[in-house]
Amino acid sequence: VKLSEFGGAKRIDAEYYKPEYLELSSKISSKEYSTLGNISSLLTDGDHGNPEYSTEGIVYITSGNLNELGVDIKGCNKISYEYAKKIRKDCFTTEGDILLTTVGKIGISTIAQLSGIALSRDISRIVIRKNTFYPEFISVYLNSKIGLLLTERESIGSVQKGLYLVQIRNLKIPKISNILQDKIKQNFLNAIKFDKQSLSLYSQAENLLLEELGLKDFKPEYQKTYTANLSDTLSAHRIDAEYFQPAYNKVIEKIKERAKVEKLKNITSFINHGKQPYYVKDGDVPVLIQKHLGMQLLSLHSEILNMPDTPRTDREFVKNYPEYLIKLFDVLFYSVGAYLGRANVVLENFEAVPASFITLIRTKQEVCNPVYLALFLNSEIGQLQSSKWKSASAQQYIYPKEIKEFIIPILPLSTQQKIASLVQQSHEARKKAKELLDVAKKAVEIAIEKSEKDASNYLSSFNNNY
């Protein structure tokens, strides 16, 4: 790279000058543009303290709670009101703010839909000046292929990369007409609408399950001290106190009052953890790993297939181990680590095999609906069984032989189908949200790489056929 091409950047790391970065910078610079700092009335980061978490209080989010369409409030940590008073006032969201992840999965942006949420240091809060740009357009732009390349280029660090405020302020924002910005904004808002519908439908499915089991308002009471018989420890081959927590058995007893129950091994035709595939660069068959399993639903198959860092294997592996080729309605159970017990069901046809830490479960569908089973395992009640059966300390694990012992309520098939239908509707709504967001991002890319007219025509063509 010539010294004259440094362009005033105070960077000498080679990665910063990759040809694709220089080409992108040149494209944006060839158009009229501003910087994020110039169009913002506030650009700051979140709390730098050591948060005091509490069961009651104010929602406190980190970068892991953000996705392109909003903030995943469910399962978020909360901070005490006392600690909240110590935090800078600008660390709390107002509705309409742009939120941007700056550590971990860098460059993911969304629009805050609620005020008063506390932000951690790995999220940047951006307030756009009125009459400059639509915040929704900026968020879509940052999430587009172009925006992600820009934030990727500006990130600094080796072990843990970070995006600092000075780099965020210097991000180039191409000037796009208000008419096109508004069209992109509408697609984004429609995507949010379908995403909310997806979350609502899934919540309805969970509530229906709990109502049928008589557990809607049931809260397990964890005991601090308790005893277990020696005979029980010998038969279970366990001596860890957590396994014998009485709260777990009370939940099972409560379920038995309303439903017939079966051990998972009696209602399945196949349970085993994945046969670890050997990896093949540019192989034909994707390998499902941790990032593909969602909090509630599996990543859409197009996401799995198109992620550049998705590992792959070849057809020879599938030929040797055909039983591990994922099928429609397979249940995928995460068996190790931070997301232990997370369960997703496959609702689309695609080719893939699971990695070794994902347990593959196939139900006897004449007894147990697989969509219903995945919802149960993923519910608060199902997660209690994962808590009971997990073992080890540093890296917790549940083995297939233990998953087979899970107690599953067998509701009437008609009721199982009602619950499953809500989950499938949730999946379809999320799929629509993803399509609308992808179209909005593509329109941004077309506007920068080609013309606003082409971008407008692309949006109109999609929306007319939608």
The residues facing 409 across adjacent strands are 261
* pLDDT number for residue 260: 95
User: pLDDT in tens for each of the 466 residues of the chain?
Assistant: 777 766 566 777 888 889 898 888 888 988 899 999 999 999 999 999 999 898 889 999 999 899 999 998 877 899 999 999 999 999 999 999 999 999 988 999 999 999 999 999 999 999 999 999 999 999 999 999 999 999 999 998 877 889 999 999 999 999 999 999 999 999 999 999 999 999 999 999 999 999 999 988 877 777 788 888 888 787 777 777 777 777 788 888 889 999 999 999 999 999 998 889 999 998 999 999 888 888 889 888 888 777 778 999 999 999 999 999 999 999 999 998 777 899 999 999 999 999 998 999 999 999 999 999 999 999 988 988 898 888 876 778 899 999 999 999 999 999 999 999 999 999 999 999 999 999 999 999 999 999 999 999 999 999 888 7
Question: What is the Cα gyration radius of the chain?
Answer: 25
Q: What 3 state SS string does 72-136 have?
A: CCCCCEEECHHHHCCCCHHHECCCCCEEEECECCCCCEEECCCCCCEEECCEEEEEECCCCCCHH
* pLDDT number for residue 11: 78
Whether residue 85 contacts residue 57, with contact meaning beta carbons closer than 8 Å, is answered with: no
Instruction: Judge residue 8's burial from the number of C-beta atoms within 10 Å of its C-beta, 0-12 exposed, 13-18 middle, 19 or more buried.
Output: exposed
Count CB atoms within 10 A of the CB of residue 201: 19
Helix intervals (H) in 37-120: 81-84
The token pair at 451 is: 């013309």
Count CB atoms within 10 A of the CB of residue 136: 23
* pLDDT number for residue 164: 93
Residue in the block written with tokens 């239908």? 421
* pLDDT number for residue 106: 92
